[in-house]
Amino acid sequence: MLDAIDAVDWGAIPGHPDWYEPARAARGLRALADAANLVEAAEASSLLGGGGIVHGHSASVFPAAAVATPLLLDIAEQGHPAARDAALGLVDEALSSYPHREYTRVTTSYGTTVPICCAIAHQLRARTALLAGLGKRGRALLADAAEHWRFEIRECVADTNDTAAFGTLVGCLPGGVHAVELHVGGGIAVLDEVALEYPPMDGSLEACLRVTGRRPAELPPGAVLFPAECGERVH
């Protein structure tokens, strides 16, 4: 774990200059990974929660939190029980906090301008088995992560004035009509009316969304949709 923490250039990760302290991120993660009792875990958590990945007093989250989440989950899996609890608490805080303007998005393998909360949720889903085995708190994190869904378009078909978009859905898109962000080639557009037409079935991720008032050409294969409200989260 320590090698993975040290491999990150925390100073190169953008963050609000008045609040984000990269040294706290690195020191806090190392200390939490090494924590052998409740006091040490609390001290490490204070570093991370006081400017390392979040600023607890102002309920703000930094882009570094998206990078730190898989490391915190490693600590939750391998570390001392007190470190595990602290790590899960920090991830929970990061997912629910709001980022500062101009520091709201991160680059991932599935997009270059992904809302921080959606990037954290992706990391949580990637460790579903771990979190499900950590009891009520782990399952609660998975439930919260499901709200930050993501849909990747595979193909589209015109349906009168609307478009039926077929692709893969991770997370849980609620019923009803929603505003969503459409991410294509590094650009973002807002689609005002999107609804789940056919949900995934029998463990599959395949789903169909109805996009009102849009043509298939506006929704190319490989485009990714996120909840618009996630992109609007600003501290």
End-to-end CA distance of the chain: 31
Boundary-marking domain end, from 146, 166, 195: 146
**One domain for residues 27 and 141:** yes
What's the confidence (pLDDT) of residue 216? Answer: 94
**One domain for residues 130 and 171:** no
pLDDT digits (tens, 9 = 90+) for 1-28: 788 999 999 999 999 999 999 999 999 9
**One domain for residues 29 and 136:** yes
**One domain for residues 201 and 159:** yes
> pLDDT band at residue 177, thresholds of 50, 70 and 90?
very high
* Residue 41 bridge partners (DSSP): none
The CA-atom distances, in angstroms, between 96 and each of 9, 62, 133, 174 are: 25, 12, 22, 19
What's the confidence (pLDDT) of residue 185? Answer: 86
pLDDT digits (tens, 9 = 90+) for 53-74: 999 778 899 999 999 999 999 9
**One domain for residues 136 and 60:** yes
> Cα Rg for the chain, rounded, in angstroms?
19
**One domain for residues 126 and 188:** no
What's the confidence (pLDDT) of residue 3? Answer: 86
> pLDDT band at residue 181, thresholds of 50, 70 and 90?
very high
What's the confidence (pLDDT) of residue 72? Answer: 98
Boundary-marking domain end, from 118, 146, 174: 146
- Examine the pLDDT at 233 and tell me if it is beyond 90: no
| Structural domain count, the chain | 2
**One domain for residues 9 and 122:** yes
What's the confidence (pLDDT) of residue 22? Answer: 96
Boundary-marking domain end, from 146, 162, 192: 146
E strand spans, 56-149:
60-61, 98-99, 105-108, 111-115
- Dihedral of the CA atoms 145, 170, 125, 120 (nearest 10)? -50
Residue 51's domain spans which residues? 2-146
